[in-house]
Amino acid sequence: MVMFYFSGTGNSKYIAELFCQEMDGVCHSIEEDIDFEALIDANEVIGFCYPIYASRVPRIMRNFAVRYMDQLKGKKLVIFCTQVLFSGDGARVFTDLFPRDHIEVIYAEHFLMPTNVSNLLIWPVPGDQRIKKYIVRAQRKMQSVCRDIKGEKMKKRGFRIGSRMLGLIQGVGFPVLEKRANQSLKIRSNCTNCQICVELCPMQNLIYEDGRMGHRHDCTICYRCVNQCPQKAITVGYHGKVRKQYRGI
């Protein structure tokens, strides 16, 4: 099987790679410059892993699913989402991107991981010891997931009515949040124009023109730029002070 992932700051990458190590699968970031059509055509089971934002799929993963809609028809899917607290139906909402009966979900699971929102005072980035606890918990859950799949025991987290209702409630405000992020990316005056963010942005949203930094209003809210800026000069949507940055697992 093959697994495709999008990871803003490393959590989803960690989960995707952990799964492929256990299952002897092939793992690729959707940001890679490879022949995705050929990979999808060559595999019966396709995995997807992504961070969930307010029970909604990140823009970049939504775009990927739409781009390869035809190739994915009739495929069996394993879906993982990484979350901070709970998402309700974080894995299930991926299926909303497809027509009815277009794909078959054979396994879906949510993984609790550290927050990468590094500028929210009431919800700080965890320290090293807490991050280790997240890793141990994720490893144990992944072992259980792989035992299930190898034993043909299928589970679909987030597909029950209660989960769907919780996801619906959480996701109500997401379009506003996404629009705000697109319109309100802020680069503070302490920016040194190092352009690290330009190189790292998965959407090519950040640009350097006429001697200053700017953006194209196409943010996927991955927080990669916020957490990698050496000057802590970038914020997206919410503009509290960036404190301890999250650099991933």
pLDDT in tens, 162-210: 999 988 888 888 888 888 888 889 999 999 999 999 999 999 999 999 8
Same-domain check for residues 159 and 210: no
Query: Are both 62 and 156 inside the same structural domain?
Result: yes
Query: How far apart (Å, rounded) are the C-alpha atoms in residues 163 and 211?
Result: 48
Is there a single domain that holds both residue 13 and residue 41? yes
Q: Classify residue 245: in a domain, yes or no.
A: no
Residue % of the chain over a pLDDT of 70: 100
Number of domains in the chain: 2
> Do residues 17 and 136 both lie within one domain?
yes
Burial track 151-167 (b if 16+ CB lie within 10 A, e otherwise): eeeeebbbeeeebbebb
pLDDT above 90: residue 218: yes
Q: Is the pLDDT of residue 246 over 90?
A: yes
- CATH value at residue 196: 3.30.70.20
Asked, for residue 242, whether it belongs to a domain, the answer is no
Domain range for 189 is 185-235
Q: What is the pLDDT of residue 125?
A: 92
In 3D space, the residue among 160, 225, 168 whose CA is nearest the CA of residue 54 turns out to be 168
* 110 to 158, 163, 236: CA distances (angstroms): 8, 12, 25
Tens of pLDDT, residues 19-68: 999 999 999 999 999 999 999 999 999 999 999 998 899 999 999 999 99
Residue 177 located in a structural domain: no
Tokens of 22: 């256990």
Q: Is residue 206 part of a domain?
A: yes
Tens digit of each residue's pLDDT (9 = 90 or more) over 135-154:
999 999 999 999 999 999 99
β-partners of residue 209 are 212
Query: Residue 121's pLDDT is what?
Result: 81
The answer to whether residues 229 and 149 belong to one domain is no
Question: Are residues 146 and 63 part of one domain?
Answer: yes
151 and 191 share one domain = no
Predicted confidence band of residue 86 (pLDDT cuts 50, 70, 90): confident
Do 7 and 127 have their domain in common?
yes
Extract the tokens encoding 129: 């010891």
What is the average pLDDT across 93-115? 96
150 and 229 in a common domain: no
179 within domain boundaries: no
**pTM score of the predicted model:** 0.94
243 located within any domain: no
